[in-house]
Structure 1
Amino acid sequence: MSVLTRVRSEGAIPFAGKFRIIDFPLSNCSNSEIYNVSVLTQYMPVSLNVHIGVGKPWELDRSRGGLRILHPYLGPDMNDGWQKGSADAVRKNLEFIDSRRIDTVLILGGNHVYKMDYRPMLKLHRDMKADVTVGIRSVNPFETHRFGIISTDSSQRVIGFREKPRRSRENVASMGVYIFDVELLKEHLLTNPSHVDFGRDVLPSLIGKKRVFAYKYEGYWANVGTIQAYWEANMALLAEISALDLYDPDWIIHTRSEEQPPAKVGPSAKLIGSLSSNGSIVEGTVKGSVISPGVHVAEGATVIDSVIMNDCKIESGAVLNKVILDKEVIVGENANIGTENGTIVPNKLDPDKINAGITVIGKRTQIPAGIQIGHNVVIAPYMRAEHFPSDEIADGETIR
Structure 2
Amino acid sequence: MNKQKWIAIVLAGGKGTRLNLLTHTMVKPAMPFGGKYRIIDFALSNCRNSGIDTVGILTQFMPLALHSHLGSYNQFDQKGGLAILPPYQRNDDGIEWYEGTSHAVYQNIEFIEHYNPEHVLILSGDQVYKMDYTLMLEQHIETNADCTIAAVEVPWADAKRFGLLKMNHATMRILDFEEKPDHPSSNLASMGIYLFKWPVLKEYLILAEQAEHRDFGKDLIPAMLEDRLKLYAYLFKDYWKDVGTVHSYWRANLDLLDRGKNIFLQNTDWPIQTVASQYPPLFLDERAKVQQSLISEGCEIFGTVENSVLFNGVKIGKGSHIKNAVILPKTIVEENVWIENAVVGGQSLIKKGVIIFSKNPERHLMVVGNHVMIDLAIEQSKLQSRVKMVMT
After TM superposition, the score normalised by the length of structure 2 is 0.89
Q: Can you give the 5+ residue segments of structure 1 that lack an aligned partner in the other structure?
A: 345-353, 372-384
Verify the 8 A CA contact 2:208 2:215 in the aligned structure 1.
Answer: no
- 1:53-202 → structure 2 map (5 Å cutoff): 53=71, 55-56=73-74, 59-62=75-78, 64-76=79-91, 81-153=96-168, 154-195=170-211, 196-202=214-220
**Per-residue deviation at 1:249?**
2.9
Asked if the contact 1:228/1:356 (under 8 Å) is kept, the reply is: no
After TM superposition, give the deviation of residue 266 of structure 1 in Å.
Answer: 1.5
Q: CA RMSD in A?
A: 2.3
Give 1:238 shift: 1.0
Please, which of 264, 267, 271 is the counterpart of residue 290 of structure 2? 271
Secondary structure of the residue aligned to 1:162 is strand
CA distance in 1 between counterparts of 2:334 and 2:268 reads 37
* Cross-structure match for 1:348: none
**SS, match of residue 69 in structure 1:** strand
Inter-CA distance 395–114: structure 2 relative to 1 (3 Å threshold)? closer
Check if 1:364 corresponds to 2:336: no
Task: Check 1:246–1:11 CA distance in 2 against 1; reply closer, same or farther (3 A cut).
Answer: farther
Match status 1:212 vs 2:231? yes
Following TM superposition, by how much is the alpha carbon of 1:79 offset from its aligned partner in structure 2, in angstroms?
A: 6.8
User: For residues 191 and 338 of structure 1, what CA distance do their matches in structure 2 show?
Assistant: 50
Q: Is the 8 A contact 2:264 2:272 kept in 1?
A: no
- Out of 327, 346, 367, the position equivalent to 1:308 is 327
Check whether the contact 1:54–1:68 (CA below 8 A) recurs between aligned residues.
no
Q: Which moved more, 1:182-191 or 1:4-13?
A: 182-191
Q: Is the 8 A contact 1:54 1:60 kept in 2?
A: no
Give the match's secondary structure for 2:193.
Answer: strand
Deviation at 1:392, TM superposition (A): 9.9
Among candidates 351, 357, 364, match of residue 332 of structure 1:
351
| Equivalent position amino acid for 1:76 in 2 | N
CA distance, structure 1, for counterparts of residue 363 and residue 218 of structure 2: 28
Q: Which amino acid aligns with 1:357?
A: H
Q: Are 2:24 and 1:17 equivalent residues in the alignment?
A: no
Contact 1:11 1:111 in 2 (8 A): yes
Distance in 2 (CA, whole Å) between partners of 1:357 and 1:96 is 44
- What is the identity, as a one-letter code, of the residue corresponding to 1:16? G
Which digits, 9 at most, give the CA deviation of each residue in 1:190-244, with x for residues without a partner? 1331341111111111115211111111111111000111111111111142252
After superposition, what is the alpha-carbon deviation per residue over 1:88-142, rounded to whole angstroms, capped at 9, x for unaligned? 1000000111011111100000111100010000111111111100001111111
Instruction: Give the number of the structure whose residues are more often strand, by fraction.
Output: 2
Identity among equivalent positions (%) equals 35
How many residues in Structure 1 have an aligned counterpart in Structure 2?
Answer: 368
Using structure 1 for the length normalisation, give the TM-score.
Answer: 0.87
Amino acid in the other structure paired with 2:181:
P
- Among 31, 34, 51, the alignment partner of 2:49 is 31
Asked whether the equivalents of residues 374 and 383 of structure 2 are also in contact (C-alpha less than 8 Å), the reply is no
How many Å separate the matches in 1 of 2:107 and 2:210?
Answer: 13
Q: Which runs of 5+ in 2 are unaligned?
A: 1-18
1:318 paired with 2:337, answer yes
Change (3 A) 1:290 1:26: same
Relative to structure 1, is the Cα distance of residues 12 and 393 closer, same or farther in structure 2, using a 3 angstrom cutoff? Answer: closer
- Structure 1 residues 364, 212: closer, same or farther in 2, change over 3 A? same
Using the alignment, how far apart are the partners of 1:148 and 1:392 within structure 2? 33
Query: Residue in 2 aligned with 1:261?
Result: 280
CA distance in 1, matches of 2:176, 2:389: 41
**C-alpha separation in 2, matches of 1:232 and 1:397:** 16
Contact kept, 8 Å, 1:296 with 1:313, in 2: the verdict is yes
Which whole-Å CA distance do the structure 2 matches of 1:134 and 1:393 have between them? 40
